[in-house]
Amino acid sequence: MVGAAVHAPTPRNSCYPSPVVRFARLRRWLRPLGIGALAWLAVTPGAGALAPSTELLVPAAARTGAWSTDLYMLNLSDQTNEVTVEWLVRDRPNPEPRTLTLSLAGNESRVLEDVIRTGFGLESGRGAFRISSSADVVATCRIYATEEDGTYGQGFEAVPADAATVAGTSTHVLGLRSADDFRSNVYALAGIDGATVRLELIDPAGSRLTEAQLALGTHEPFLEPLTTVFPIPAVDQATLLVHVVTGSVVVGASKIDNMTSDPTTLTSWIPGAGDPLAAGSYFGVVAATDTAATGGLTLLLDGDANVIGIEFSYPAEACSALLTAGQDLSEEPLPLAELAAGYGFVTSYPGGGTVEWLLQLELQTAGTTLAGSLAATGSDWGGEFEACTGDHGPLPVALGSRQSSTRE
């Protein structure tokens, strides 16, 4: 069974002047044909699927000038859930942060509007959130500006603290660019023990351009321009290689169009720990080019190392669309090893268009991460999405493992 949708971004006239990123507005959502039996969370540009936890890290938030932040939370328990939200101030350790406590009834969702002011009593601030709870929650925040014709902004999903990149492991952030037409920023949020991080900037050929060190204290947020982190005036399609020496950290980047100030979130893939064949989810990013939004991909595994579900969003630059699709393989599980040779399937979309997908993934060093590519061939598209007909990609894909229970 296949689930699919198309998102097409709308051009913007407004801009976000600070280094925090936002999502492009979407002008169309085409409801999928045939939803699979698995209940999947949709993957949006620059983010992986929302993941539940009793400790979540939201790596960026701000209240400054016209900009505010709304925080969204959902209690996944049938019982009352006691939740604490901590405000983590950027560029300093936060061993004793300001806190906000609240109770969420069973299955209740809540929006804390302009939370930095209404929840923490601050008229301005730049930082991040840590959310702890008595039972699993999912959370996300929206950073937005208010103008005469409405609001616009972007979002950051909360990352489980145990999904952070930890000491002795590495991760990558793809697609960084700093030049006349684009600029990039690097963000990070350290765990409770802080983090010591070695950063390498890698060119498209795999050669190291330069490196830097980053030391963060307890739950310290960080956000700086790429050209401040590295002594380099310009870079094109670079990869940030992140080695965590001590502690743990959530890391990523943003890439902003200097002409339109339209940003793209560049999330890192999340390395896992322990047995890579355990039941759970693998999730990460589908890399994008200069003008496309970053996509995401999630694999769901059973205890026998079989793929029982696939969900992804794919930035099709040629037709300015974000294509989403999924496969429910719970009835006929696919051995993970078979993805090395490539797994293909076809998605049908409303209006007659189809896409033939080819996903290729292989286990990487130590067997805790996956990497490969995702390619698309569109057929029979018309109207404003006519350019979706033809070949797209392949685009590189990188995923990490996070142990979690399987979804029925």
**211 sits in which H/E element:** strand 208-216
Q: Which domain holds residue 80?
A: 51-157
The answer to whether residues 240 and 96 belong to one domain is: no
Place of tokens 């979130």: 265
Q: In the structure encoding, which two tokens stand for residue 284, read together?
A: 């990460």
Place of tokens 């033809």: 390
Distance CA 162, CA 184 (A): 27
The overall average pLDDT reported for the chain is 78
**64-68, 154-158, 184-188, 244-248, range with the lowest pLDDT:** 154-158
Q: What is the pLDDT of residues 243-281, one digit of tens each?
A: 999 999 999 988 888 887 777 778 887 654 444 445 666
Backbone angles phi, psi at 339, to 5 degrees: -70, -20
**10-19, 183-192, 209-218, range with the lowest pLDDT:** 10-19
* 346 in a structural domain: yes
Q: Which residue has the higher pLDDT, 353 or 369?
A: 353
CATH number at residue 61: 2.60.290.11
Closest CA to 343 of 292, 314, 309: 309
The answer to whether residues 265 and 138 belong to one domain is: no
- Provide the Cα torsion 177, 180, 181, 183; round to 10°: 40
Q: What is the mean predicted confidence (pLDDT) over 62-71?
A: 92
* 339 in a structural domain: yes
Distance CA 223, CA 239 (A): 17
Distance CA 362, CA 342 (A): 9
* 28 in a structural domain: no
Q: In the structure encoding, which two tokens stand for residue 3, read together?
A: 């689930």
Q: What is the mean predicted confidence (pLDDT) over 93-108?
A: 96
Contact 9, 320 (CB under 8 A): yes
The answer to whether residues 106 and 191 belong to one domain is: no
Q: What is residue 370's predicted lDDT score, i.e. its pLDDT?
A: 75
Q: Which residue has the higher pLDDT, 354 or 156?
A: 354
Q: In the structure encoding, which two tokens stand for residue 202, read together?
A: 């890698």
Q: How many Å from the N-terminal Cα to the C-terminal Cα in the chain?
A: 15
Q: What is the pLDDT of residues 302-341, one digit of tens each?
A: 877 788 888 888 888 888 777 888 889 989 999 888 888 8
Q: How many domains does the chain have?
A: 2
Domain limit, last residue, from 95, 128, 157: 157
**4 sits in which H/E element:** strand 2-9
Domain limit, last residue, from 112, 130, 157: 157
The answer to whether residues 177 and 140 belong to one domain is: no
Place of tokens 């993805």: 339
Domain limit, last residue, from 122, 157, 192: 157
The answer to whether residues 389 and 281 belong to one domain is: yes
pTM: 0.60
The answer to whether residues 183 and 292 belong to one domain is: yes
